[in-house]
Chain A
Amino acid sequence: MAAAIAGVFQPEMQNLIKESKVLLVGAGGIGCEVLKNLVLTGFSELEIIDLDTIEVSNLNRQFLFNKESVGKAKSHVAKTSVLKFNPNVNITSHLGDIMDTKYGVAFFNKFKLVINALDNKKARSHVNRMCLSCDIPLIESGTMGYSGQVEFIKKGVSLCYECLPKSEPKSYPMCTIRNTPKEPIHCIVWAKFLFGQLFGESDEDVSVDQTVYDGTETKVSARQWAEIIEYDPKKLLEKIFYDDIKYLLSMESMYTGKKVKPVLLEPSFFETEVVEYRHVLDSEVLTLEQCKSMFLDCIVSIKQKLDICQNKSLVWDKDDDDFMNFVVSSSNIRSAIFNIPLKSHFDIKSLAGNIIPAIATANAIIAGQIVIHALRILSGKYERCQSVFLRELPNHKGQILVKDKFLQKPNPKCMVCSTDGEIVLSIDINNITVKQFEELILKKKLNMVAPDVLVDGRMIISSDEDDELDLYEKTLAEAGVNHGSRFSVDDYFQNYSIKIMLQHKEKAQEEDPDFEIFGNLEELNTAEKNNEAEPEENDEDCLIEKDESCVERVDDDLSTSDEQAHDMVTDKKQEDDSVIKEDMMDSDPEVIKVDQEISNEEILAMKRKADEASEDINEAKKSRVD
């Protein structure tokens, strides 16, 4: 512990290190490295929180864990491991979700500094708000593959995590998923929906409901039907990949004038013998027959899991081999039907599991810079704490760890850290209930935890159940909301409040978005003008958010910060000679704008292949895919 030895640091610095209580949020890739650095530097009052347990795929970088610790709580094991090389440190480890209400203002106020080593936007936004409201400096961080970044956030001093808009998750039109898939990802998303429909509680129907001839001809859901036939693998195979396709083809006009049209598989396909597929490496592509065998086998295994949990429901997880095999086999069979190239298990896992590559070295570099930032912040040298970016390759000047020229000032219009933040919500007040408004807009979209809502001075949502407002099932209109109403929304837990101005917009067609949010009225007007100017293409409009419900619990996964840090790496506006801008110069700016939240995997997979194929491409060119 460096700070325990006289002369290593200047005396003031030495005391600050020894006495400052620090909260580390996340014990994943960056978290392990940061904890090591903090402890060795001599920080002796630490708390660490993580809700995750250790998995085998963490072991290539989360060095405080090993094979024996798989399945155990990350936060506790991380603590035990660092105590071996420094027993004289006071660490409290929490197995829990930082968004849990038990970690409120009183909890945060204990700390001199908070460090985020997270992997999802929702938790990052939440900690950002907690630190703003408690006026505690926050270090935000992330890595993706070879690159990464460190950001300093302090109320009134710097940009906050939410000062600049973050990109939205990539979405696919539901009708493309159901009827007209054109790319492997469409079939993969479909396969995950199908899993939810057959084994979970999903309400996204991607398989046709069945009519059961029990004399009364009742119609039953796909799950009910599967239960009736006791998940007979062969019957499921035939229904999903023959009957359902036949049904699609029977609908006139479904495929008229479209390039995409399914082709029924030969009936013999459903009859042929079972073939072996287990020897095939996950980097190789299975044949259609092998996919069929894999499908039949995994249905049996998944049915057993369903039995164990007493037929409740299963949640898809990329780390469950049977669940993964289900998506590999069914997406590939569907691809074959729609004349789409089949994919390897390895590639499908990247796409379906939304996996961000992660390595020890990038995490270690970012973690080192985090602790150096921590030292500068504690000694009040805020102006020294510009964002620092780790690049995949050196730029033309040889720089690989690059900082912003200046500490960026807060965005005066930020809806989170600025006091007069107001946003405009465009919505059909007759088509949304108060409950939906709370769940979809306040909690999901605006990342609140326990909001209270006043409309023109009247309370319509209360975080206190005793208030018994009883308006949840009413539409906004019925609850007294009008065009031009002003909502005042407070989240006492986050100590966060925002004003929302409501603009009523009738939802004319089903494909229209449920709601839109704008920074101000001009933005809304501009958007509307643009919409009129460019009538939308037919089939790309019934947007769904790319299955957030099942994408690896994107929203509620508080763990390895390396897995989804890309939203930071790619979103940030840059000063002139720092990382991203240079990269943009070499590449099509449109590509950069494309959201990275989900499609990242595709880009990375492409990048990896490109790297392998052309090793001689000059360095500058390679780095641009970031």
Chain B
Amino acid sequence: MASEITNNGNGEMSKEERKVYDRQIRLWGYDGQKKLREIKVLLIGMQGLGAEIAKNLILSGVNSITLKDHTEVSILDCCSQFLIPRDSQERNRAKASMSAAQKLNPNVKVIVDTTPIEQNVDSFVTSFDIVIATECSPTTYKRLSELCRKAKVKLFIADVYGLFGYFFQDVNFKHNLYGEVFLDNDKIYTDSLPAKIPRPYFLTSALLKFQSESNRKPNPDTCEEDVEELKSIVNPILDQLNIGNNIFDEYYGELFCELSPTTSIIGAMVSQTAIKNAMDKPIEKYNVFFYDHIEHEGQFHLL
């Protein structure tokens, strides 16, 4: 395999590369493709959403991508993790994804990393152009946001809950940090946020608070208790704002696991936004994106 790997980013694009990338070069030009070939990406979390992001960025032809995950393959991966063959004997998620990921595009350096991000020193992230994190704890997200801001490394934080999903981005180092948007105390709503808060924000905040308290995402095994727990977090806030408690009734039934339709949407939104960054065309007016699976709408916000 190794001999097949061309050194992406070094030297001119080969004729073969031009052929593979033809349909996208016709969209973003050779210059865009050249910029992509120089980008080094750190991707944390290789569940379904991670697999989607890895797929999109490897296909696009970035220079390298480091797949970082210290956790083991679980039964829930079969909801959306398509890079892990079901007969794989490998237990680590990143390792199990490696072979299928590399096959997507031999021009890209695919690197596996099984160290938990919590154990990495701060300077670790500075060797990357873009850091994308999924499936971490809210505490880790806050730390990443702060240290990427300090090191001026572009950051995306994304998660999918069932058919609902969101991402946070810090690409121009000006807007609120992750911890300033998603607070972990009871006061989810603050005056520093814009007057018109999008509804999915409350749902996201409740999910993050659930995660902080329970140390896990809502789970299909315990779906009924988990929904009750979520309601107990979100309803007082809705009451405080005079919003009816029933606005999320339709949402609760579809918040478990990372489900493929939404990992597909959020994964592609994050990847496309990251690609635009690599080409110096960031969507920088906003810092949060929600996909609302009941309304079928995807919207950016500045929070």
Binding site for B on A (CB under 8 A): 1-2, 4-10, 33, 36-37, 40-41, 56-57, 59-61, 63, 66-67, 82, 84-87, 145-146, 282-283, 346, 350, 355-365, 367-373, 375, 384, 386, 388, 393-394, 397-403, 562, 604-605, 608-609, 611-612, 615, 619
Judge if B204 is at the interface, Cβ distance under 8 Å: no
6 contacts between A and B (CB under 8 A): A41-B260, A57-B19, A85-B86, A282-B18, A368-B260, A368-B262
Chain A residues near B297 (CB-CB < 8 A):
388, 399, 401-403
The answer for the CA separation of A609 and B30 in the assembled complex, in Å, is 11
Residues of B near A283 (CB, < 8 A) are 30
A445 to chain B, nearest CB (A): 30
Task: Name the one of B21, B253, B299 contacting A10, with C-beta atoms under 8 angstroms.
Answer: B253
What's the minimum C-beta distance from A292 to chain B, rounded to whole angstroms? Answer: 23
Residue of A nearest to B59 (CB): A360
Q: Are A4 and B78 in contact (CB under 8 A)?
A: yes
Considering the chains assembled together, what is the distance between the CA atoms of A231 and B285 in angstroms? 61
User: Which residue of the partner chain, among A367, A403, A608, contacts B27 with CB atoms under 8 Å?
Assistant: A608
A41-B261, A146-B272 as given contacts; A612 in contact with B59, CB under 8 Å: no
Chain A residues whose C-beta falls within 8 Å of the C-beta of B105 in the assembled complex = 59
B296 touches A372 (CB 8 A): yes
A132 to B104, CA, bound (A): 38
Instruction: State which of B22, B100, B268, B281 has its C-beta within 8 Å of the C-beta of A365.
Output: B268
Give every chain A residue within 8 A of B219 (Cβ-Cβ).
Answer: 7
Query: Which of B29, B30, B83, B267 is close to A364, meaning CB atoms less than 8 Å apart?
Result: B267
Q: By the criterion CB–CB under 8 Å, are A85 and B79 in contact?
A: no
Contacts A61-B24, A63-B55, A369-B261 aside, 6 further interface pairs with beta carbons under 8 A come to A8-B79, A57-B22, A361-B275, A394-B285, A394-B286, A398-B285
Please indicate the chain B residues that have their CB under 8 angstroms from the CB of A60 in the complex.
Answer: 20-24, 59-61
Determine if B191 is an interface residue (Cβ-Cβ < 8 Å): no
The complex places the Cα of A67 from the Cα of B107 at a distance, in Å, of 12
B280 on the A face (CB < 8 A): yes
Residue of A nearest to B27 (CB): A357
Q: How far is the CA of A306 from the CA of B174 in the complex (A)?
A: 63
**Contact at A368–B283, with CB atoms within 8 Å?**
no
CB of B106, distance to nearest CB on chain A (Å): 8
Which residue from chain B places its CB closest to the CB of A563 in the assembled complex? B23
Cα(A368)–Cα(B30), bound, Å = 29
Interface residues of B in 1-56 (CB under 8 A from A): 16, 18-32, 48, 52, 55-56
Q: Are A66 and B82 in contact (CB under 8 A)?
A: no
Pairwise interchain contact A36-B253, C-beta atoms closer than 8 A:
no
Closest CB in chain B relative to A147 CB, distance in Å: 11
**Residue B205 lies at the interface, judged by CB distance under 8 Å to chain A:** no
Residue among B22, B79, B104, B280 making CB contact with A63, cutoff 8 Å: B104
A360–B268 touching, CB < 8 Å: yes
Q: How far is the CB of B3 from chain A (nearest CB, A)?
A: 14
In this complex, which of A8, A66, A87 has the most chain B Cβ atoms within 10 angstroms of its Cβ? A8
Judging by beta carbons under 8 Å apart, are B59 and A33 in contact? no
Q: Which residues of A contact B293 (CB under 8 A)?
A: 372
Given A40-B78, A41-B259, A398-B300, are A357 and B264 also a contact pair (CB < 8 Å)? no
**A63 in contact with B59 given A41-B260, A398-B300 (CB within 8 Å):** yes
Please give me the residue from chain B that is nearest to A364 by CB atom: B268
| Inter-chain contact A401/B298, CB cutoff 8 Å | yes
How far is B289's CA from A617's CA once the two chains are assembled, in angstroms? 23
CA distance in complex: A560, B76 (Å): 31
Determine the residue in chain B with the shortest Cβ distance to A10: B253
Contacting pair B20 A615 (CB below 8 A): no
CB atoms of A365 and B265 under 8 A apart: yes
Report chain A residues within 8 Å CB of B286: 394, 398
Asked if A357 meets B24 with Cβ closer than 8 Å, knowing A40-B82, A282-B18, A372-B293, the reply is: yes
Q: Which residues of B contact A372 (CB under 8 A)?
A: 163, 261-262, 293, 296
Instruction: Identify A397's interface contact among B23, B61, B299, CB under 8 A.
Output: B299
In contact, B86 and A84 (Cβ under 8 angstroms): yes
Determine if A608 and B257 form an interchain contact, defined as CB atoms under 8 angstroms apart.
Answer: no
Residues of A close to B294: CB separation below 8 A: 384
In the complex, what residue of chain B is closest to A7 when comparing beta carbons?
B220
A2 in contact with B79 given A604-B26, A615-B280 (CB within 8 Å): yes
Tell me which of B79, B162, B265, B300 contacts A394 (CB under 8 A): B300
Whether the pair A384, B296 counts as a contact (CB closer than 8 A) is: yes
CB-CB nearest in chain B for A144: B27
CA distance A56 to B28 in the complex (A): 19
Contact B299 A86 (CB under 8 A): no
A residues less than 8 Å from B81 (CB atoms): 85
Q: Interface 1/0s, chain B 206-236, versus A by CB < 8 A?
A: 0000000000000111010000000000000
CB of B64 within 8 A of chain A?
no
A86 touching B259 by the CB < 8 A rule? Answer: no
Q: Evaluate contact between A85 and B257: CB separation under 8 angstroms.
A: no
Chain B 89-131, CB within 8 Å of chain A: the 1/0 string?
0000000000010011110000000000000000000000000
Q: Considering the complex, give the chain A residue whose CB is closest to the CB of B79.
A: A2
Assembly CA distance A57 to B220 (angstroms)? 41
Q: Return the chain B residue nearest A4 by Cβ.
A: B78
A63 to B76 CA separation, bound complex (whole angstroms):
22
Closest to B263 in A: A368
Alpha-carbon distance A611/B25, docked complex (angstroms): 13
CA–CA, A76 and B119, complex, Å: 44
- Check if B221 sits within 8 Å of A393, measured CB to CB: no
Complex Cα distance A605/B261, Å? 32
Q: Return A52 CB to nearest CB of chain B, in Å.
A: 15
- By the criterion CB–CB under 8 Å, are B29 and A359 in contact? no
Q: Are A66 and B103 in contact (CB under 8 A)?
A: yes
Task: Compute how far the CA of A4 lies from the CA of B86 in the bound complex, rounded to whole angstroms.
Answer: 14
The answer to whether A399 and B299 touch (CB under 8 A), given A7-B221, A355-B26, A360-B59, is: yes
Please name the 7 residue pairs, one residue from A and one from B, whose CB atoms are nearest each other, closest first: A401-B298, A7-B220, A368-B264, A40-B260, A357-B27, A368-B265, A398-B300
CB pair B296–A61 under 8 Å, yes or no, is: no
Q: What B residues does A619 contact at CB under 8 A?
A: 283, 285
Residues of B within 8 Å of A386, CB to CB, are 296
- Bound together, the chains give a CA A25 to CA B22 distance in angstroms of 24
CB distance from B77 to the nearest CB of A (A): 9
Question: Nearest-CB distance from B227 to chain A (Å)?
Answer: 10
Max count, chain B CB within 10 A of own CB: residue among A361, A363, A367, A612: A361
Q: In this complex, what residue of B is CB-closest to A604?
A: B26
Q: A40-B79, A361-B275 are in contact. Are A388 and B296 (CB under 8 A)?
A: yes
Known A-B contacts A394-B283, A611-B29; the reply to A5 vs B55 at CB < 8 A is: no
The answer to whether A56 and B264 have CB atoms under 8 Å apart is no
B80, CB-defined interface residue at 8 Å: yes
User: Which B residues lie within 8 Å of A40 (CB)?
Assistant: 48, 78-80, 82, 259-260
Residue of B nearest to A55 (CB): B19
B31 interface neighbour in A360, A362, A562, A612, Cβ under 8 Å: A612
Task: Name the A residues within 8 Å of B82 (CB-CB).
Answer: 36, 40, 82, 85
Q: Taking the nearest CB of chain B, how far is it from the CB of A53, in angstroms?
A: 16
Beta-carbon contact of B253 and A56 below 8 Å: no
B291 within 8 A of A: yes
B84 at the interface (CB under 8 A from A): yes
* Contact flag A608-B21 (CB < 8 Å), given A85-B86, A394-B300: no
